[in-house]
Amino acid sequence: MISKATVKFIKSLQIKKYRKQEQCFIVEGAKSVLELLQSDFEQVMVLGTSTFIERLNVGDRTIVTEVSEKELEGLGEFQTNTTALAIARIKPNEKLPVRRNEFALVLDDIRDPGNLGTIIRTADWYGISTIIASEETADFYSSKVITSTMGSFTRIKIYYTDLVEYIRENASGHVVAGAFLDGENVHNYNFGPGGLIIIGNESRGISPELEKLVTQRITITRYGQAESLNAAVASAIICDNLRRSKS
């Protein structure tokens, strides 16, 4: 049985204001919690069913408490989670440099948590570990984002900042590729050894301020009548072609 104070604390972390105040976030589901325990995130507590706890070998690194499936269902945001839940410390928002032979995704106001989580998972699949995000992009530490990443949040570094300022200060020597409806066909484009790839807002695309800093416009060729692509889908197509151009 967990205390009312612990329940209240966990529930509060569903709100961004309290995540920021407590510098903690929630991780739900067996896979994501296991990934968390193998990562460099500091863990505050782990709650799990007896079956889940039997699989663990965490030593003294964190507090592990056995709970029932019913208790778990009422704690997190997802009633389908009946195995494990953990609380971890938020990492500092530290500036991330991009090396000459490295690719980074630049996210311009990706507001939908599901899109952000899928983009993070996609970046992990294609070996891209750095994301630079606008301050208006969805919160990396929201439960919907963390769950959508399926554990990839443990391997991706993210930095929230003013994108115009960041690119002006850090893009020297880098290609800055932006996804537009017009541009060079992404199937034919040679991405080179590294660079910044900007993915625009779900409805507005890349902002005019950032567009001025783009050195290479790329496009995903449309063959049908759809007006646009989902931001996460577009990111996946671009990442796939990026890797194919280097093979």
pLDDT band with cut points at 50, 70 and 90 for residue 95: very high
- N-to-C CA span, the chain: 54
DSSP 43: E
3-state SS, 132-155, equals: EEECCCCCCCCHHHHHHCCCHHHC
pLDDT value, residue 85: 95
Domains of the chain, CATH where assigned: 4-89 (3.30.1330.30), 103-246 (3.40.1280.10)
pLDDT of residue 60 exceeding 60, the answer is no
Look at 13-27, 73-87, 152-166, 196-210 and tell me which has the smallest mean pLDDT.
Answer: 73-87
pTM: 0.93
pLDDT band with cut points at 50, 70 and 90 for residue 21: very high
Do residues 43 and 36 lie in contact, with contact meaning Cβ atoms separated by under 8 Å?
A: yes
Average pLDDT over residues 53-71: 80
Task: Look at residues 158, 149, 155 and name the one whose alpha carbon lies nearest to residue 122.
Answer: 149
pLDDT band with cut points at 50, 70 and 90 for residue 247: low
Do residues 134 and 109 lie in contact, with contact meaning Cβ atoms separated by under 8 Å?
A: yes
Q: Compute CA 146 distance to the chain's CA centroid, rounded to the nearest angstrom.
A: 7
Percent of the chain at pLDDT > 90 equals 77
pLDDT of residue 181 exceeding 90, the answer is no
pLDDT value, residue 230: 92
pLDDT band with cut points at 50, 70 and 90 for residue 61: low
Give tens-digit pLDDT for 187-222: 999 999 999 999 999 889 999 999 999 999 999 999
Angstrom CA distances, 212 to 191, 198, 209, stand at: 19, 12, 6
Average pLDDT over residues 153-168: 97
Do residues 219 and 192 lie in contact, with contact meaning Cβ atoms separated by under 8 Å?
A: no
Helix (H, G, I), strand (E, B) or coil at 175: strand
* Residues in CB range of 99: below 8 A, 6 or more apart: 194
Residue written as token pair 């416009």: 217
Which runs of E-coded beta strand occur in 22-170?
24-28, 43-48, 63-66, 84-89, 103-107, 130-134, 157-161
* Residues in CB range of 200: below 8 A, 6 or more apart: 108, 109, 178, 179, 206, 207, 210, 231
Residue 133 to residue 202: CA distance in whole angstroms:
14
200: its two tokens: 């625009």
The pLDDT mean for the chain works out to 92
Residue 108 to residue 98: CA distance in whole angstroms:
17
Task: Look at residues 157, 177, 46 and name the one whose alpha carbon lies nearest to residue 108.
Answer: 177
